[in-house]
């Protein structure tokens, strides 16, 4: 991935291989998650653990599956549909309880829908170029960038909204780039979900948010 598009295209052999691997991945994931749902000791740890109320979630500005598990209808693919999302709509996966179980359930629904989406897309990939032409051959000037431009993009990643903000200089080259990761918004959600919880439930709460250190402003 690079400014202006992708470095490589997917050829038919590769998409066949990806479809095969996706099938194996789906089988393994389904089996593991089914075991999880059918294990009462695990479910006892999930239910009513690390509850985050909908109001708190909204006030903190949480994004992604963590927000949707507390009942917020927030998904960049639906709120700001661009590109493929204008044509392919993935139903919003949400839950209301805001506990570890709700976050796991939203994640599982999204895994299944993502597999379906990837499968559909791989079977009907459009042709055409994958990269905008570099205007000066050095890949630092991208077609479509104008001098002194501010560009903002929102993408729904697997943890939630990723925001890229880009500034170009007087010559149309990238001058500044700032990325805000979903983890930046959601760390405070984890902190609040942990209040009043047992220490032994920390791993469940932590992994139900599954945040990235790199996603914070290091």
Partner 1 sequence: MLKILLERLRQGHRTIDWPQGPPPELSDRFRGRPRLDRTRCPAECRACVVACPTEAIDLAGLGRIDLGRCIFCPDCAEACPVGAITHEADYRLAVRQRGELELTGTEELQLAAALDRRLKRLFGRSLKLRQVSAGGCNACETDINVLGTIGWDLGRFGIQLVASPRHADGLLITGPVTQIMALALRKTWDAVPAPKLVIAVGACAISGGVFAGRPEQQDGVHDLPVDLYIPGCPPHPLTILDGLLRLLGRLESA
Q: Which residues bind partner 1 (CB under 8 A)?
A: 2, 7-8, 28, 31-32, 35, 38, 137-140, 212-215, 217-218
Which of residues 118 and 134 has its CB atom nearest to partner 1 in the complex? 134
- Three-state SS at 178: strand
Which of residues 165 and 212 has its CB atom nearest to partner 1 in the complex? 212
- Three-state SS at 40: helix
Which of residues 98 and 172 has its CB atom nearest to partner 1 in the complex? 172
- Residue 71 Cβ, how far from partner 1 at the closest point, in Å? 29
Q: Would you tell me how many other CB atoms lie within 10 Å of the CB of residue 138? A: 8
Q: How far apart are CA 181 and CA 168, in angstroms?
A: 21
- Residue 213 Cβ, how far from partner 1 at the closest point, in Å? 5
Q: How far apart are CA 210 and CA 196, in angstroms?
A: 20
Neighbouring-strand partners of residue 84:
none
CA angle 189, 162, 211 (to 5 degrees): 40
Which of residues 70 and 208 has its CB atom nearest to partner 1 in the complex? 208
Which of residues 70 and 183 has its CB atom nearest to partner 1 in the complex? 183
- Three-state SS at 176: strand
- Residue 54 Cβ, how far from partner 1 at the closest point, in Å? 29
- Residue 73 Cβ, how far from partner 1 at the closest point, in Å? 28
Element at 77 (helix H, strand E): helix 76-79
- Residue 134 Cβ, how far from partner 1 at the closest point, in Å? 9
């Amino acid at each position: 991935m690079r400014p202006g598009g992708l470095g490589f295209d997917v050829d038919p052999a590769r998409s066949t291989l990806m479809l095969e691997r996706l099938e194996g991945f789906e089988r393994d994931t389904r089996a593991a998650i089914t075991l999880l749902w059918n294990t009462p000791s695990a479910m006892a740890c999930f239910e009513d653990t690390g509850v985050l109320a909908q109001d708190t979630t909204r006030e903190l500005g949480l994004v992604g599956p963590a927000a949707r598990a507390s009942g917020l209808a927030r998904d960049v693919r639906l709120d700001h549909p661009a590109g493929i999302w204008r044509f392919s709509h993935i139903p919003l996966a949400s839950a209301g309880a805001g506990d570890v179980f709700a976050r796991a359930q939203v994640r599982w629904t999204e895994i299944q829908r993502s597999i379906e989406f990837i499968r559909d897309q791989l079977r009907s990939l459009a042709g055409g170029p994958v990269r905008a032409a570099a205007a000066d051959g050095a890949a630092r000037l991208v077609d479509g960038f104008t001098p002194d431009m501010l560009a903002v993009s929102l993408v729904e990643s697997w943890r939630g909204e990723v925001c890229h903000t880009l500034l170009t200089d007087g010559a149309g080259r990238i001058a500044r780039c700032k990325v805000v990761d979903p983890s930046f918004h959601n760390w405070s959600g984890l902190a609040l979900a942990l209040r009043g919880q047992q220490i032994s439930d920390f791993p469940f709460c932590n992994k139900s948010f599954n945040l990235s250190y790199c996603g914070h402003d290091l």
